Amino acid sequence: MKSTKILWSVIVCLVLSLSVSILANIGIINLSTIFKSSITTENVEKVLQLSDIEMTLDREWSLPKSSAVVKLDFKVKNISKEPQTIYQTNLSIFDYNECRYDVSTTFNSRRNPLLFSETINPNTQKELSVIFEVPQGELYNIGYSDNIESVGIQVFVDKIRSIKCKYRTFEEMIKVRERLAESPSEFKNISKTKIEEVAPEVVF
């Protein structure tokens, strides 16, 4: 009797596994989403804080014509009680498609001071900058590791198109991008000395 129950249990498990596998393969269920939502992780303690974030997109003669560089300038403060190190792998930028761009290793440490790492003592902050190689004609939003938080507004300056945008989040960046796409006339014939400010109407 016991062996029969075990046998039926095994059969039911196999049938369920096969059903889930088939549904996942044909795209009816997304296992990665299910696993992601079911895993309970502890909140990671924030130890570093980014502020005064400014990204400047410009041409770079050594890159192909369709490519550009984004220079990311920011302040980073140690808000923990121990020395903390920020690495180049802690920072990325994202475009509207959520494509991730990591810090460029093309340029030397004089242009890219965070090419390796920077240690920051408690209750102190440093001004740093890093460089990314990206396609032209897009807006970008900063991304960072779980132990870092960002405060304030991100400023994005596109020197090629002579525009300046401000946003706090990825979602706001999308709204700014949509506004740029819908109203291109707002940005035509802008002189090189004048930079148009564009920001979504978001109530906080």
9-44 pLDDT tens trace: 656 655 656 565 554 455 555 444 444 333 334 578
Q: Are 106 and 15 in the same domain?
A: no
Q: Model confidence over 130-161: pLDDT tens digits? A: 999 999 999 999 999 999 999 999 999 999 98
CATH assignment at residue 134:
2.60.40
Say if residues 164 and 193 touch (Cβ distance below 8 Å).
no
pTM: 0.69
Q: Does some domain include residue 20?
A: yes
Q: How confident is the model at residue 62 (pLDDT cuts 50, 70, 90)?
A: confident
Q: Are 79 and 160 in the same domain?
A: yes
Tokens, residue 17: 């596994």
Exposure of 143 by Cβ count < 10 A (0-12 exposed, 13-18 middle, 19+ buried)? middle
Q: Are 7 and 81 in the same domain?
A: no
Q: Are 72 and 133 in the same domain?
A: yes
Q: Are 144 and 173 in the same domain?
A: yes
Q: How confident is the model at residue 181 (pLDDT cuts 50, 70, 90)?
A: confident
Q: Are 62 and 12 in the same domain?
A: no
Q: Does some domain include residue 204?
A: no
Q: Are 128 and 163 in the same domain?
A: yes
Domain containing 112: what range? 48-188
Q: Does some domain include residue 198?
A: no
Q: Does some domain include residue 93?
A: yes
Say if residues 103 and 91 touch (Cβ distance below 8 Å).
yes
Exposure of 159 by Cβ count < 10 A (0-12 exposed, 13-18 middle, 19+ buried)? middle
Q: Are 58 and 14 in the same domain?
A: no
Amino acid occupying residue 32? S
HSE, CB side, 13 Å, CA atoms: give it for residue 35. Answer: 4
Q: Are 72 and 156 in the same domain?
A: yes
CB neighbourhood size of 99 (10 A): 13
Q: Report phi then psi at 186, rounded to 5.
A: -65, -20
Number of structural domains the chain divides into: 2
Q: Do the strands 154-158 and 163-167 form a parallel or antiparallel pair, or are they unpaired?
A: antiparallel
Q: Are 132 and 113 in the same domain?
A: yes
Question: What is the predicted pLDDT for the residue at 7?
Answer: 61
Q: Are 55 and 142 in the same domain?
A: yes
Q: What is the spatial distance between Cα 87 and Cα 119, in angstroms, rounded to a whole number?
A: 9
